[in-house]
Amino acid sequence: MSALRIWVMAARPRTLPAALAPVFVGTAAAYHALQGGVEVGVTIDAASAPAINAVIVAGTDSFRWGTFIAALIGATFIQIGTNLANDYSDAARGADTADRLGPVRVTASGLATPRRVLRATWAAFAVAALAGLYLGFEVGAEIVAVGLISIAAGVFYTGGPRPYGYVGLGEVFVFVFFGLVAVNGSYYVQIEELALAPLLLSIPIGLLSAAILVVNNLRDIDTDRRAGKRTLAVRLGRERTRRLYAAMIALSYLLLPLVLLAGNRWAPALAALASAPLAVAPLRAVRTRTDGPALNGALAATGSLLGAYAALAAVALAI
């Protein structure tokens, strides 16, 4: 197996929609707000023309491409760093064994030495930190603080003396950092303020991102239990985890109308409803299957669902 393929496998590309989706949604929400300009029906007289023109310029020319790219890089490499840290820590703790149903883990399988995986972990987090420093220079120190907390959360997910991923809090981490923080942070680095509508939109993004982890932990429920890894799926049991997954998917769509109540011109967010048919296959697999290949497919399909949901909302908001 080539070195490139090994590191792509270690990065777990099926989970990357959880990093990309919130940045695109938060950025599109900010772009949508910047394009507000002048309301239809406003009468412009000679005295008000300069002020109106200033509003139009602010609405059309203030999009910050540099902060968008930095946010995208930061979120992506926090996700990759978290995946690598998980690969390293789970192997060290004996949670990744030969009978696991998920894709091969590079540390436990011997495809990469623990030292190399650890170095790659810190390299990924270093790239994320550099992106955060740029955002701090452009926006403010508060963004650097958020980035450092996000990196620390990625490290201690399965690392450190008391990893919170081993006590059933992994889904909370994903919901908070790949939903609330990433969407609203991406909005903030464009406009430098927060708003209710993107906050509400970040909730379904966080739920769908966390649903990816729910499928992962449902697949690994037996091996995690034997390894002493008390994930949320282990704590709830198989049937209640299945119901949790279905509830998270359903709630992601039911919450969309609330966005309309939070501000003007947010109807495009409802475009995400068009992705609902993509939820049928993973819902069926999660409800009826226990084998690794089927649940691996459900995990990938949940990632695709998140990607489609976010893309539809983002494109509709942007145009």
- What Rg do the C-alpha atoms of the chain give, in angstroms? 21
How far is residue 212's CA from residue 171's CA, in Å, rounded to a whole number?
9
pLDDT computed for residue 97 by the predictor: 65
pLDDT digits (tens, 9 = 90+) for 16-47: 888 999 999 999 999 998 887 433 333 444 45
Location of structure tokens 């509508």: 197
Q: What is the pTM of this model?
A: 0.87
pLDDT recorded at residue 264: 64
* In a domain? residue 44: no
Are 107 and 117 a contacting pair, CB within 8 Å?
Answer: yes
Quick check: is 271 in a domain?
yes
Residue 192 lies in a domain: yes
| Full residue range of the structural domain in which residue 310 is found | 3-36+61-318
309 within some domain: yes
Tell me how far the alpha carbon of residue 94 is from its chain's centroid: 27
Going residue by residue through the chain, which has 319 residues, state the pLDDT in tens, using 9 for 90 and above.
788 899 998 898 888 888 999 999 999 999 998 887 433 333 444 454 444 343 333 444 588 999 999 999 999 999 999 999 989 988 887 766 656 666 778 888 888 999 999 999 999 999 999 999 999 999 999 999 999 999 999 999 888 888 898 899 999 999 999 999 999 999 999 999 999 889 999 999 999 999 999 999 999 999 889 888 899 999 999 999 999 999 999 999 998 888 877 766 677 778 899 999 999 999 999 999 999 899 999 999 999 999 999 999 999 988 8
Is residue 258, in this structure, part of any structural domain at all? yes
Q: Please indicate, yes or no, if residue 41 is contained in any of the structural domains.
A: no
- Please state the domain count of the chain: 1
Alpha carbon distance 193, 107 (integer Å): 42
Domain presence at residue 108: yes
| Inside any domain, residue 45 | no
